[in-house]
Amino acid sequence: MPKFAELSILDKTRLDDQRAIVAAAAKQRYGTTTLSRTVEDLPVLQRLIDDKAFTKTQTHQLQSLGVAFGDVLATEFPLRWFMVTDEYGTDPTLRFKNTSVQVNALTMISKRVEKGETVNLQELLRHTREQLTRLSQEGVQ
């Protein structure tokens, strides 16, 4: 059973550092000044992916894109950043309300890029919306 914990100061700093990596890449490449943590970030994040700003071996940077995308998800849905400890270790994740359901935004992009799959953020957003709507209707705990 996964255990959830509030983010520590260190965890928050780590996520902020990862957000800064994405913001710096967006600024350097496209002159984007800030990320808003809303769906308005999707075109810039998508462009970073499409332009292969980070290679498939740059796991930390790809996971940083996942953090930025996760921020968008957390704005759109009842999701909040937590640390989760499970059989794989302890990592940041997005927790759905107060349930055991989690959205692993950190690896959502990196796993796909590393496998050479196309990443469509609008599609991932739509898929997440469908899953969470279904879970809400089922009354998941």
Of the pLDDT bands very low, low, confident and very high (cuts 50, 70, 90), residue 139 is: confident
**Residue 61 corresponds to which tokens in the numbers above?**
């940077």
Tally of structural domains, the chain: 1
pLDDT in tens, 121-137: 999 999 999 999 999 89
Q: Which residues contact 45 (CB under 8 A, 6 or more apart)?
A: 22, 26, 65, 68, 69, 72, 121
Whether 62 and 54 have beta carbons less than 8 Å apart is answered as: yes
How wide is the angle at C-alpha 140 spanned by C-alphas 137 and 141, nearest 5°?
Answer: 150
pLDDT at 2: 86
Residue 141 scores a pLDDT above 80: no
The whole-model pTM stands at 0.95
Region 46-63: mean pLDDT is: 97
The CATH number that applies at residue 74 is 1.20.120.1090
Determine the structural domain holding residue 82 and report its residue range: 3-138
Residue 78 DSSP symbol: S
